[in-house]
Chain A
Amino acid sequence: MRDPIGTIRSGATALGLRRAAEDNGDLPADGLLIVDVSGISGRVSAWDAVKLARDLKRPHALDLIERVFDRFQELHGDRSFRDDPAVVGGIAHLDGHPVVVVGQQKGGSTEENIQRNFGMPHPEGYRKAIRLYRLAERFHLPLVTLIDTPGAYPGPEAEERGQAEAIAKSIETLTRLRTPVVAVVLGEGGSGGALALGVADVVLALENAIYSVISPEGCAAILWRSGTEAERAAKALKLAGPDLLALGIVDGLVPEPRGGAQNDHDATARSVKAAVVAQLDRLSPVPVTELLAGRYERFRRIGVFVEPETAPAAPRRTWWKRVLGR
Chain B
Amino acid sequence: MPFGRRKELPSHLWTQCPDCGEMLFNKQLARNMNVCPKCEHHFKIGARERIEMLVDKGSFEERDPLLAPGDPLGFTDTKGYPQRIEAARAKSGEQEAVITGSARIGGTPVELGVMDFEFIGGSMGSVVGEKLVRAAERALAERNPLVIVSASGGARMQEGTLALMQMAKVVAATARLGDAGIPYVSVLTDPTTGGVLASYGSLGDLVLAEPKALIGFSGARVTDQTIGERLPAGFQRAEFVRDHGFIDQVVPRSQLRDRIAFFVSALRPTAGEVRWSL
* Contact segment of A5-13, A138-146, A163-171: A163-171
Contact string against A for B residues 67-87, beta-carbon threshold 8 Å, 1 for contact and 0 otherwise: 111101101111000000000
**Which of B100-108, B227-235, B268-276 participates in binding chain A?**
B227-235
Instruction: Say whether A326 contacts B49, CB under 8 Å.
Output: yes
Whether, in the assembled complex, A37 has its beta carbon less than 8 Å from a beta carbon of chain B, the answer is no
> Are B201's CB and A176's CB within 8 A?
no
Write out the residue numbers on chain B whose beta carbons fall within 8 Å of the beta carbon of A310. 66
How many residue pairs between the two chains, A and B, have CB atoms under 8 Å in the bound complex? 232
- Provide the bound-state CA to CA distance between A192 and B165, in Å: 9
User: What string of 1s and 0s marks CB contacts (under 8 Å) between A284-299 and chain B?
Assistant: 0000000000011001
A138 to chain B, nearest CB (A): 17
Q: How far does the alpha carbon of A314 sit from the alpha carbon of B66 in the complex, in Å? A: 11
> Restricting to B119-177, which residues have a CB under 8 Å from any CB of A?
125-127, 129-130, 133, 155-157, 159-169, 171-176
**Interface size bucket, A side?**
35 or more
**Nearest CB in chain A: distance from B226 CB, A:** 6
Complex interface bits, B243-254 against A, C-beta within 8 A gives 1, otherwise 0: 011100000000
- Tell me whether A324 and B10 are in contact (CB under 8 A): yes
State whether A195 touches B168 (Cβ < 8 A): yes
**Nearest neighbor of B129 in chain A, beta-carbon distance:** A303
Report the bound CA distance from A236 to B46 in whole Å. 30
Q: Is B257 an interface residue (CB 8 A)?
A: no
Residue of B nearest to A189 (CB): B161
With A192-B164, A311-B66 as known contacts, state yes or no: A213 contacts B155, CB within 8 Å: yes
Contact with B along A151-169 (1 / 0, CB 8 A): 1101110111111110111
Least Cβ–Cβ distance between B234 and chain A, in angstroms: 11
Stretch touching chain A among B16-24, B215-223, B258-266: B215-223
When chains A and B are docked, how far (Å) is the Cα of A171 from the Cα of B250? 25
Q: Which residues of B contact A307 (CB under 8 A)?
A: 64, 66-68
Tell me the bound Cα distance from A224 to B232 in angstroms: 26
B66 to A308, Cβ gap below 8 A? yes
Contact between B197 and A308, CB atoms less than 8 A apart: no
Contacting residue for B160 out of A218, A237, A320, CB 8 A: A237
Contact of B1 among A198, A222, A309 (CB under 8 A): A222
B193-209 with Cβ < 8 A to chain A:
194-195, 197-203
Residue B93, interface by CB 8 Å: yes
Q: Is the CB of A176 within 8 A of B179?
A: yes
Contact of A325 among B49, B171, B194, B224 (CB under 8 A): B49
**Residue of B26, B164, B169, B224 ringed by the most chain A CB atoms within 10 A:** B164
Q: Which residue of B lies closest to A210 (CB)?
A: B161
Q: Find chain A residues with CB under 8 A from B231 CB.
A: 156, 159
CB neighbours (8 Å) of A181 from chain B are: none
Cβ A305 vs Cβ B77 within 8 A = no
A residues contacting B by CB (< 8 A) are 150-152, 154-156, 158-165, 167-169, 171-172, 175-176, 189, 191-192, 195, 198-199, 211-215, 217-219, 221-224, 227, 233, 236-239, 244, 247, 249, 295-296, 299-300, 302-312, 314-317, 320-321, 323-326
29 cross-chain CB contacts under 8 A: A154-B218, A156-B229, A159-B218, A159-B236, A164-B201, A165-B202, A167-B198, A168-B200, A168-B203, A192-B155, A213-B163, A213-B164, A214-B222, A218-B222, A236-B77, A237-B157, A238-B73, A299-B165, A299-B169, A302-B166, A302-B169, A303-B125, A303-B126, A304-B70, A304-B126, A307-B64, A311-B66, A315-B90, A325-B49
Q: What 5 A-B pairs are tightest by C-beta distance, nearest first?
A: A303-B126, A154-B218, A304-B72, A223-B77, A164-B197
Q: Which positions in B face A, CB cutoff 8 Å? A: 1, 10, 12, 26-27, 30, 46, 49, 64-70, 72-73, 75-78, 89-90, 93, 95, 125-127, 129-130, 133, 155-157, 159-169, 171-176, 179, 194-195, 197-203, 216-218, 221-227, 229, 231-232, 235-236, 244-246
